[in-house]
Each structure stands twice: as structure tokens, then as C-alpha cells.
């Protein structure tokens, strides 16, 4: 009997990256299919019966898990909570689970309930697991740290994913990065030497996508697409020819280092191949910080001019920014806001610094005794709990960070950056794509939703001015408007969640003060304190219910922690009143 294998991709929580508030405008459920799982699926024995469940587009049922012989799951840090629920599901059903991907690879020692770990790169560690599993002697963990030649990587099993659920497609060209930024885990996962697929191999994967009905936006998921410039210069002309031969079915976006701006021929080749966006890790406008974190490629560049150079070629720059570095001064928040506005970067992903496992930053902070936890939830926007002791006072850091988000995603500021970008960009072919059914749907949903929103005037003003500036870029203008709805909505939700968190802290301190007052006045009536606690819990629950629906899971978790903490306060009331603390 062939093995029935269930491939499961855990749910992504609401984040700036998830685009969860924009996807309904497009009639889609997720941004991208799970490329890692689809690639791994192509390495499994051909006789196995494979089923993919992407929890971002469909629910996972206990029946599906119980009917499988084996569950294989891949997860990133940000999917930690959903991944843990999946493992519990497998345990309840009695189905063995194989785990891999960035989160298990970095944190497998902290994960319980997984039957088999296949860590690192699947080309190295999956074959020995499969051989041992077939013989019934599989070990608990396979973690050879080797970095394979990508010529051995098969084309992803795109036939397992339903096109109708996703806003775009994804492919990988290279792994690894020549740089060594202190806070980044890419080198520890994939090495310093960027390995690439051949042009023929990558184009064969494009042919496969096209044959399976995919077109439109395509994310080349490399952490640094230009890491191996010799090889990427071979790919881009072939990619441009393929696009021309097939009527330009894809618009590419990717990630690259900022030194791309200094290589005009490479920029021109990317434009000719159909790239219209690149995500760049800018991190900070402070040169001293860039040196301290070994971001040398940014130290050598004029940051603002580099961004403008890329934009001027017709490629939108999305930027990654971080606050919380040791060198950050009190003015860093204003400097980040000013730089992002001046640069005209609509998609500005700003996060609190996180010490990721297996990074040089993590090792340094551990040696300095500054770590507060072994890992992170991976969501450095919706979880403002730092996992290390910062140089800046923690409350000031969190408050400054929230101010940066509030300023950047004030509707008028976001749309101002969009207009600045449109004025600066050369309307290259990839930026003047035709308007399809998905764009028409998005426009009508956008008009119906955003005109009547609290920022309706700013939205209508943006549309009118944008159409006058770049009428040929209507598809991109629609995309900017729809993404704006996501960024504005998720920022509002984050700030409301933080206000709820702050309110819970005030209520907890109120209860502690009441305990001290009660004992000071010579009264020790626990029933009175319990009644007071219940009133506070009811207040907290009323506020919890006002948190946006997509963040209710987080809010209810905070509420439950608060409820249990206040119960402990009442139980330990005598100790607290006498100047002790809660254990």
C-alpha cells in the first residue's frame, strides 16, 4: 500500500506581510503558495499519495490527519502557534509528524511532540530519512548542515496547489548571501556562498507554472537575488527572452541588497526581464549603527540616492527597517520617519529588533547576559515583547516604535509616499501591466470600501492625483490603494491591541494597590478582594471584545494571562501586602 502523506502549511497570523486585509479585495485567500512544501513534495517517492493542506486557505480537520499515514509540515518562526496546534492535532490522531523549515531548524530543541525532524536543506536531509523510514528504522533527527548544489533541486509540485486561492506565485533561484549582517539568520541557514539554479532550470520551472495556469505576480523568494552576480547576469537575458516569447505573463519581484543601485547594467537587465519591485534591507539611516551591525554594503552607499536610483529605473523599492539597535539614540524614530517619507517607500516594513536563534546577535547578547528568551515568535510587529534587554529604556523603545508605525501609516502620509514614488518612477513595461479581472475586482471593492472609510478623502485625492501623474500605471495605482487599506487597518489594529495590553497592566497594578490598601487598613477580607478582582476582569473582558476580530486570538490570550495573574494576586495577597512579590 502506498503511503498517504499529508503536507500541511500552518496558518500565518495577521502581519504587515500577510496582506490579510487586502486579499479579500482580490478574491484570494493567501498571498503565495507554500513553495518549500511544494519543492519537498517533488522529492518524495512517486508512489506516495500526496495531499496539500495550506491552513491559510482551508481548515485542517482531525479526520484528514487521522486518515494520513504521515504528516509533513514546514514552518517559519511566525507560524509557531499554528504549528504547535498542528503537532497537538497529530498527537491526538496518533499520526506521526515530520517537521522541517526555518522554525524547526533553528529551535528544534524547544519543540515537543514531533516524531521526526528533517532540518536544514531538504536535498541533504530528506533522502536519508526516507530511506530509513522505508525500512522502519528512522531516527528522531536528521540535521546534516551541508549546502547542496541547486542543480539537484526538483521543480516544485505546483499541481498540488489550487491557483484560485493565491494572489501570486513563487519560485526560488538562489540560496545564501555573501553578506554577514549581525542580526540576520540567512547565513546560518543557507551559507555565505550563494548557490543558483541554471537559467535552463529556472525557465523550466516558469514553463511548469505557465502549464499549470499561473500568471501575474511572481515572487522570486531569494534572500538576496543578486548575491551571485556572475550567475544572475546569465539568467536575466534568458528571462527577458522567455518573457518576450510568451507575451510577458509574469511580473517579478524579489529581495536584494542595496548595492544593486550601483550596478546600472544589472538594474537595466532586471527591468528588461520584468522586475517591478525589490525588497531591500535598509534597516536604519544611522551610519554608526550600520557599521556596528556589519551592514557594510549600506555603509558604502548614499542610502537616499540609492533608493531613488532604483526607483528611477522603474522598480519600486520596498524597505525593511529596524529600531532597537544598541547605537540607536532618542532621535532614531524621527530619523526613520523622515527617511522613509523622503525616499517615497510606500511598503515600509518597520520592526523591533529581535535576537533570532543562531545569529551573531543572539550569540553576543547571550554572552553579555542580555537575552530574555531563547527564541522569538517571529512577528516583530504584533508582538512588542522584546527578547533581549535593549540599551534604550524598553518603554521608550516600544513607545517610539509605535509612533513610527502611527506616523508612517497615517493615510495622508502613506498616500504621499505613493505619489512621490509615482512621480519618480520611469513607467517601465512591467509597471504598465494591463488591467485584468483581478484588478477590476480589486478596484470595485476598493472604491466601495475605501471611499466610505475614515480616510475616504485622502484615498479619493490619491486616486485622482495618481491617475493624472501616471495614467498608464493604473494597475499599480490600484495595488497601492489596496495595500494601503491593509497597512492602515493592521496598524490601527496593532495600536488598539497595544492600548488593550496597557490597560490590562493598569488594571493589574490597580488590584495590587487595592491589596496593599486593604491590609494597611487592618482588613484582610479575601471575599472583598475577590469581588474587586471580578469587577476588573469584567472590565478587561469588555475591552477585549473591542479588539478587531483578526486579533481576537492574541487579545484573548492576553486576557487569559491577565485573569490568571489577578487570581494569583488575590491568593498571595498577604505576601504582597507585606512587601513581598508574586512568584
Between the alpha carbon of residue 264 and those of residues 167, 254, 581, the distances in Å are 31, 17, 62
What is residue 577's predicted lDDT score, i.e. its pLDDT?
60
3-class secondary structure, 115: coil
- Tens digits of per-residue pLDDT, 53-90? 999 999 999 999 999 999 999 999 999 999 999 999 99
Q: Does one domain contain both 442 and 342?
A: no
Main-chain dihedrals φ then ψ at residue 539, nearest 5 degrees = -60, -45
Alpha-carbon span 169 to 219, nearest angstrom: 6
Q: Does one domain contain both 327 and 392?
A: yes
- Tens digits of per-residue pLDDT, 45-63? 999 999 999 999 999 999 9
Yes or no: say if 401 and 350 are a contact pair by the CB < 8 Å rule.
yes
Domain of residue 207 covers 168-424
Q: Does one domain contain both 477 and 567?
A: no
In a domain, 302, yes or no: yes
Q: Does one domain contain both 341 and 214?
A: yes
Q: Does one domain contain both 194 and 330?
A: yes
Yes or no: say if 198 and 232 are a contact pair by the CB < 8 Å rule.
no
In a domain, 153, yes or no: no
What is residue 79's predicted lDDT score, i.e. its pLDDT?
96
Q: Does one domain contain both 129 and 87?
A: yes
Residue 147 CB partners (closer than 8 Å, separation 6+): 121, 124, 175, 176, 190, 191, 193, 195
* pLDDT tops 50 at residue 30: yes
Q: Does one domain contain both 393 and 449?
A: no
Q: Does one domain contain both 345 and 217?
A: yes
pLDDT bucket at 521, cuts 50 / 70 / 90: low
Q: Does one domain contain both 186 and 107?
A: no
CATH number at residue 53: 3.40.50.280
CATH number at residue 278: 3.20.20.70
The beta strands (E) that lie in 467-557 are given as: none
Main-chain dihedrals φ then ψ at residue 78, nearest 5 degrees = -65, -20
Q: Does one domain contain both 483 and 518?
A: no
- Tens digits of per-residue pLDDT, 432-491? 777 788 889 999 999 999 999 999 999 999 999 999 999 999 999 999 999 999 999 999
- Among 376, 406, 424, residue at a domain's last position: 424
**Residues paired with 253 in a beta bridge:** 219, 277
In a domain, 148, yes or no: no
Q: Does one domain contain both 358 and 282?
A: yes
* pLDDT tops 70 at residue 399: yes
In a domain, 152, yes or no: no
In a domain, 155, yes or no: no
Better-predicted residue by pLDDT, 569 or 245: 245
How many domains is the chain built from?
4
- Among 125, 142, 159, residue at a domain's last position: 142
Alpha-carbon span 79 to 557, nearest angstrom: 16
pLDDT bucket at 553, cuts 50 / 70 / 90: confident
In a domain, 494, yes or no: no
Place of cell 514531533: 114
In a domain, 161, yes or no: no
In a domain, 493, yes or no: no
Q: Does one domain contain both 192 and 268?
A: yes
Amino acid at each position: 500500500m502506498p503511503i498517504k502523506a499529508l503536507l500541511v502549511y500552518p496558518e500565518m497570523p495577521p502581519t504587515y506581510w500577510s496582506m490579510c486585509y487586502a486579499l479579500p479585495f482580490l478574491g484570494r485567500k493567501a498571498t503565495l503558495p507554500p513553495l518549500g512544501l511544494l519543492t519537498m513534495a517533488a522529492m518524495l517517492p512517486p508512489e506516495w499519495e500526496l495531499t496539500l493542506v495550506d491552513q491559510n486557505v482551508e481548515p485542517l480537520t482531525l479526520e484528514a490527519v487521522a486518515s494520513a499515514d504521515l504528516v509533513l509540515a514546514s514552518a517559519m518562526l511566525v507560524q509557531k502557534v499554528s504549528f504547535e496546534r498542528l503537532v497537538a492535532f497529530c498527537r491526538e490522531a496518533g499520526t506521526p509528524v515530520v517537521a522541517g523549515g526555518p522554525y524547526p531548524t533553528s529551535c528544534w530543541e524547544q519543540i515537543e511532540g514531533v516524531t521526526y525532524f528533517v532540518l536544514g536543506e531538504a536535498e541533504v536531509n530528506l533522502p536519508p530519512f526516507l530511506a530509513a523510514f522505508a525500512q522502519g528504522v528512522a531516527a528522531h533527527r536528521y540535521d546534516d548542515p551541508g549546502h547542496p548544489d541547486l542543480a539537484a533541486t526538483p521543480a516544485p509540485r505546483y499541481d498540488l496547489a489550487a491557483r484560485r486561492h493565491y494572489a501570486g506565485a513563487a519560485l526560488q533561484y538562489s540560496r545564501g548571501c555573501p553578506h554577514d549582517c549581525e542580526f540576520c539568520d540567512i547565513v546560518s541557514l543557507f551559507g555565505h556562498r550563494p548557490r543558483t539554479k541554471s537559467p535552463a532550470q529556472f525557465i523550466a520551472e516558469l514553463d511548469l507554472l505557465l502549464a499549470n495556469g499561473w500568471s501575474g505576480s511572481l515572487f522570486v523568494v531569494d534572500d538576496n537575488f543578486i548575491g551571485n552576480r556572475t550567475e544572475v547576469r546569465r539568467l536575466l537575458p534568458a528571462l527577458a527572452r522567455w518573457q518576450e516569447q510568451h507575451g510577458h505573463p509574469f511580473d517579478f519581484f524579489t529581495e536584494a541588497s542595496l548595492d544593486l543601485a550601483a550596478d546600472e547594467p544589472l538594474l537595466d537587465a532586471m527591468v528588461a526581464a520584468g522586475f517591478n519591485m525589490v525588497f531591500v534591507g535598509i534597516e536604519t539611516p544611522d551610519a554608526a549603527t550600520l557599521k556596528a551591525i556589519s551592514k557594510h554594503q549600506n555603509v558604502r552607499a548614499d542610502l537616499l540616492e540609492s533608493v531613488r536610483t532604483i526607483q528611477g529605473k522603474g522598480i519600486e523599492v520596498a524597505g525593511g527597517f529596524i529600531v532597537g539597535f544598541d547605537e540607536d539614540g532618542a532621535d532614531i524614530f524621527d530619523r526613520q520617519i523622515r527617511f522613509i517619507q523622503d525616499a517615497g517607500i510606500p511598503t515600509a516594513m518597520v520592526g523591533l529588533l529581535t535576537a533570532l536563534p543562531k545569529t551573531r546577535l543572539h550569540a553576543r547578547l547571550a554572552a553579555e547576559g542580555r537575552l530574555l528568551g531563547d527564541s522569538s515568535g517571529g512577528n516583530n510587529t504584533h508582538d512588542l515583547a522584546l527578547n533581549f534587554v535593549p540599551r534604550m529604556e524598553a518603554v521608550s523603545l516600544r513607545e517610539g516604535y509605535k509612533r513610527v508605525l502611527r506616523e508612517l501609516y497615517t493615510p495622508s502620509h502613506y498616500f504621499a509616499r505613493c505619489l512621490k514614488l509615482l512621480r519618480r518612477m520611469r513607467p517601465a513595461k512591467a509597471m504598465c501591466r494591463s488591467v485584468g479581472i483581478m484588478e477590476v475586482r480589486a478596484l470595485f471593492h476598493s472604491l466601495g470600501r475605501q471611499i466610505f472609510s475614515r480616510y475616504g478623502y485622502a484615498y479619493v485625492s490619491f486616486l485622482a492625483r495618481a491617475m493624472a501623474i501616471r495614467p498608464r500605471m493604473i494597475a499599480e495605482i490600484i495595488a497601492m490603494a489596496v495595500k494601503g487599506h491593509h497597512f492602515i487597518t493592521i496598524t490601527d489594529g496593532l495600536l488598539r491591541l497595544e492600548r488593550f495590553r496597557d490597560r490590562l497592566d493598569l488594571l493589574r497594578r490597580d488590584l495590587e494597590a487595592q491589596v496593599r490598601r486593604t491590609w494597611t487598613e487592618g482588613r484582610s477580607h479575601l471575599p472583598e478582594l475577590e469581588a474587586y478582582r471580578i469587577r476588573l476582569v469584567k472590565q478587561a473582558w469588555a475591552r477585549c471584545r473591542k479588539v478587531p476580530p483578526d486579533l481576537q486570538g492574541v487579545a484573548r490570550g492576553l486576557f487569559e494571562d491577565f485573569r490568571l495573574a489577578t487570581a494569583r494576586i488575590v491568593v498571595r495577597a498577604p505576601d504582597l501586602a507585606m512587601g513581598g512579590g508574586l512568584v
